Structure formats: structure tokens, C-alpha cells
């Protein structure tokens, strides 16, 4: 149903006008962003809580751009960046009483919403949530439900809203439209949403079993190999725009103190892939272990951000 009171943008993808001579003959493979990090090295994360005073809890998360992206911005050859970063804001409202017409619930009623800003992705998002945004909300609710102690707030509601200000690209902008699947970036968005939502919940002083962090890992085909099912490498915290062929990926929501996984999302086919290390692990086992390692790295930043917020609140009181 169209919103007649709002002037919406075009439903399809929009690209800015490019007036550089370098792109007249099309994009070349040398313009692609190259991964400068080690396979197990994670990007730096900026996480801050308590930025929205009207909410019970809030947080802002931002990933540091890759080195190739920073160099391209310093000396641009094109007006189109080779890849994008991840920036999102999370707000928590509650716990608050449910309406009188609602049925009695012995546990807290958790509601999660994930919404892309219209300018967050290359393809403009509409005002109404699409199926991908609803799927991210379901995954986020499953990840957080296993960490919150729900029985302490009977007949209460908790609303968690994540606004994606800038999303990870699903692939490099110069690649063919059917180069690889167009939803790899959603896995990075989900991992960021889990980490940011956990920080906002802690900022709202809601009792949890542990801080839950999100991590992503992927099996990437060696670009020197012509065979996509040949030797593969396990990459942590992958940027889809930096890789030509992604075979499979995994995102987990992990609680280190309890050593529990509250959410697991596997995508792709890694059954026929052979790892370069040759340690005997299957593709699925390597993906899960890599995602857990990435979640442990994000948890250190999450714990430090919550600690800084707590010390700031104690200093104000």
C-alpha cells in the first residue's frame, strides 16, 4: 500500500552521476578494494552508548573502513567508493507495561525492528520494511532472547529498534549483477545489530545472562585458482566488496562467559570446499569456529564500551 502523505524516492537503484574519464571504458579489476588485513584480523569497531537521552538505552556502532578504502578516499580515482562501511544506531524502549487488552505473559515480550535508512545502500530502500529487513529482525530477536532474563518482567514489553545508516555492500559495484549472491552484506549487518543491541540493552540496565556479540566468517575461494571449489581460505570479518568469490558464510551470536551460541545463520555450500590449512575440519565447523573467534573480538569492544558507560554514570551520581 503506497503512502500518499510521503514523497518517496524512486523504487529502483539510483547511482550518482560520474564525470571522471577513468570510468568511460567501464570499471577495471584494479579498482576493486583489496583486503589489507590478515585472514584472522578484525576491523576496528567504534561503539558508544547513551547517545539518545529520550530512550531507555541506546548505542552507536561503526566499523573502521578498510585500508584500501581509506586510500581511495584520500586519492580518489572515481566518485564511487570501492566499498562501504557499517554504521548503525540502536534504541531500546522499556521495559514498559503492556496494554490492558493484551494477554497475560509471564515473560517480557520482546519486539525487534531493523530498518535501513533510504540512503544506507546503493539500492534505495522504501519507507515500508521489506522481507530482508523483517528477516533481520527475526534473527535479532532470536539472538537476544537467549541472553535476556525474561521472567523478571511479567506482562511487560521491550522494543528494540536498529537503524542502519550505512550498510555493507553485497559485492563490488563494478562486478556483474550476477557475480555472486546479493545478501552477503546482510550477515555483517546482523552481526553489527547484535553487538549494538546488546550494548543498548546494557545501557538500559536490563538484566542479562551475559553480553552477546556477533561475529562473521566466510570461506573465500583463492583468486589465483580458477576453480571456485578449489583451495579456500577462512576469512574473519569479511567485506564482500573485497572478494571475488564467496562460497559460504556464517554469523553467530555468542556469549563468551557461558560459552553459548544464541543464534546461528549459515549460508552457502561449503561441503565440497577444501580448507587451505588442511587441519581436518569440515567447512561448517571451520565457519562456526571462525565466527565465534570474530564474536570474541567484538565482545572485548562491547565489554569496554559498557564499562565506560557504567563509570560515566557512577561519576555523575
Can you give the pLDDT at residue 11? 66
Can you give the pLDDT at residue 23? 46
Can you give the pLDDT at residue 127? 83
What residue ranges in the chain does DSSP mark as E strands?
A: 45-49, 57-63, 87-97, 109-116, 156-166, 213-221, 231-236, 246-255, 260-268, 274-275
CATH architecture, domain 45-172+180-314: 2-Layer Sandwich (3.30)
Residue ranges per domain, the chain? Answer: 45-172+180-314
Can you give the pLDDT at residue 24? 45
Per the DSSP assignment, residues forming a β-bridge with 275 are: 232
Can you give the pLDDT at residue 94? 87
C-alpha dihedral sign at 139, 140, 141, 144: positive
Can you give the pLDDT at residue 68? 54
Can you give the pLDDT at residue 226? 46
136: cell is 533481520
Can you give the pLDDT at residue 46? 94
**Which mean pLDDT values do the consecutive 10-residue runs of the chain (317 residues) have?**
66 60 50 79 93 94 73 57 80 92 91 93 82 94 94 94 89 57 83 97 94 94 52 85 85 95 89 56 84 96 94 77
Amino acid at each position: 500500500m503506497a503512502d500518499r502523505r510521503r514523497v518517496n524516492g524512486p523504487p529502483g537503484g539510483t547511482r550518482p552521476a560520474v564525470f571522471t574519464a577513468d570510468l568511460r571504458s567501464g570499471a577495471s579489476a584494479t579498482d576493486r578494494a583489496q583486503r589489507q588485513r590478515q585472514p584472522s584480523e578484525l576491523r576496528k569497531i567504534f561503539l558508544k552508548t547513551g547517545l539518545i537521552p529520550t530512550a531507555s538505552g541506546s548505542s552507536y556502532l561503526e566499523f573502521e573502513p578498510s585500508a584500501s578504502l581509506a586510500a581511495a578516499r584520500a586519492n580518489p580515482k572515481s566518485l564511487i567508493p570501492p566499498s562501504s562501511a557499517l554504521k548503525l544506531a540502536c534504541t531500546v524502549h522499556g521495559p514498559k507495561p503492556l496494554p490492558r487488552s493484551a494477554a497475560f505473559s509471564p515473560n517480557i515480550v520482546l519486539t525487534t525492528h531493523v530498518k535501513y535508512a533510504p540512503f544506507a545502500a546503493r539500492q534505495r530502500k522504501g519507507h515500508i520494511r521489506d522481507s530482508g529487513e523483517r528477516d533481520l529482525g527475526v534473527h535479532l530477536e532470536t539472538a537476544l532472547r537467549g541472553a535476556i532474563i525474561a521472567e523478571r518482567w511479567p506482562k511487560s514489553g521491550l522494543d528494540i529498534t536498529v537503524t542502519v545508516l550505512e550498510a555493507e555492500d553485497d559485492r563490488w559495484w563494478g562486478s556483474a549483477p550476477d557475480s555472486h549472491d546479493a545478501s552477503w552484506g546482510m550477515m555483517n549487518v546482523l552481526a553489527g545489530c547484535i553487538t549494538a543491541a546488546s550494548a543498548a540493552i546494557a545501557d538500559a540496565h536490563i538484566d542479562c545472562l551475559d553480553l552477546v556479540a556477533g561475529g562473521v566468517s566466510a570461506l573465500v575461494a583463492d583468486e589465483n585458482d580458477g576453480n571456485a571449489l578449489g583451495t579456500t581460505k577462512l576469512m574473519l570479518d569479511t567485506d564482500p566488496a573485497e572478494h571475488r568469490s564467496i562460497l559460504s558464510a556464517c554469523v553467530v551470536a555468542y556469549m563468551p562467559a557461558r560459552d553459548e551460541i544464541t543464534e546461528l545463520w549459515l549460508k552457502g555450500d561449503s561441503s565440497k570446499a577444501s580448507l587451505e590449512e588442511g587441519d581436518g575440519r569440515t567447512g561448517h565447523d571451520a565457519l562456526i569456529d571462525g565466527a565465534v573467534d570474530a564474536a570474541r573480538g567484538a565482545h572485548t569492544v562491547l565489554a569496554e564500551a559498557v564499562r565506560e558507560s557504567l563509570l560515566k554514570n557512577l561519576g555523575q551520581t
